[in-house]
Structures are given as structure tokens and as C-alpha cells.
């Protein structure tokens, strides 16, 4: 079982719609959770961090964490073509501080 799992996609949504990206993790004691965005040929860029159960909103982005279900998600409201990228879920293992990434989900926002 992979430590961090994401559906590779592609996830295709029309412009203006809500894009929902999901991630599960296997280590129950993981303590910190992040979403990064990576455009083709570029380096990952941090979008959101979330540390406690519930929702965290920042502009058009909302991160949701459910530690009991070992599940973290990212919602993108009013999706724009410029949001088309690969979204990487990452977790920190509490014992070592190791930052581990999922395979990423490719999002395509169609005009």
C-alpha cells in the first residue's frame, strides 16, 4: 500500500465549475498535510497546508481534513483554465518529519 494515494486522473472540469481532488494516506500518525500545484516543466508550488480536522479556506481553495478516515481533499471553486496543472498531496510523518508525496492528480479546466 502506498503511503499517500491519489487518483492520477486526468480530472476534467468546465471553466467555472468546482474541482474536487482527493487523497488518502496510510500512516495514522501523520500530522501535517499539504497541497502543491505543479505546472508542466516547473517545480511544485505550495498552495495550502492543513493540520487539524475540518476545513481551511484560502481564496478559491478549500482544504478538508478527516483524520479518522485518513482523508484529505482540495476543492477549487470557479475553476479557471490557468488552474490546469498537476496537484500533489503531501504528508509529514510525525516520527521523522519526512515529507511524502502522492503521485499527483492532473486537472484539466476546459474553457
Partner 1 sequence: NAGVMQNPRHLVRRRGQEARLRCSPMKGHSHVYWYRQLPEEGLKFMVYLQKENIIDESGMPKERFSAEFPKEGPSILRIQQVVRGDSAAYFCASSPGRGQTEAFFGQGTRLTVV
| DSSP 3-state percent helix, strand, coil across the chain (nearest 5) | 5, 55, 45
Q: State which residue, 17 or 27, has the beta carbon closest to partner 1.
A: 27
Mask: binding to partner 1, 60-99, rule CB under 8 A, as x and -?
----------------------------x---x-x-xxxx
44 binds partner 1 (CB under 8 A): yes
110 binds partner 1 (CB under 8 A): no
State the residue for C-alpha cell 479557471.
80
Residue 82 phi, psi (nearest 5)? -70, -10
Sign of the dihedral through C-alpha 54, 2, 96, 91: negative
22 near partner 1, judged by CB under 8 A: no
Closest CB to partner 1 among 71 and 101? 101
- Sign of CA pseudo-dihedral 53, 57, 62, 63: negative
Q: How far apart are CA 63 and CA 12, in angstroms?
A: 19
Rank residues 12 and 78 by Cβ distance to partner 1 and give the closer one: 12
Binding partner 1 (rule: CB under 8 A), the pick from 45, 55, 57, 58 is 45
Q: Can you give the binding site for partner 1, defined by CB under 8 A?
A: 31-32, 34, 36, 42-46, 49, 51, 88, 92, 94, 96-104
Amino acid at each position: 500500500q502506498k503511503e499517500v494515494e491519489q487518483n492520477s486522473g486526468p480530472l476534467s472540469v468546465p471553466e467555472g465549475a468546482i474541482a474536487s481532488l482527493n487523497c488518502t494516506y496510510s500512516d495514522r500518525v501523520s500530522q501535517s498535510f499539504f497541497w502543491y500545484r505543479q505546472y508542466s516543466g516547473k517545480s511544485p508550488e505550495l498552495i495550502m497546508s492543513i493540520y487539524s480536522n475540518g476545513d481551511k479556506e484560502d481564496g478559491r481553495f478549500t482544504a478538508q481534513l478527516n483524520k479518522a478516515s485518513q482523508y484529505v481533499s482540495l476543492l477549487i471553486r470557479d475553476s479557471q483554465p490557468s488552474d490546469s496543472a498537476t496537484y500533489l498531496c503531501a504528508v509529514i510523518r510525525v516520527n521523522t518529519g519526512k515529507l511524502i508525496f502522492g503521485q499527483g492528480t492532473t486537472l484539466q479546466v476546459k474553457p
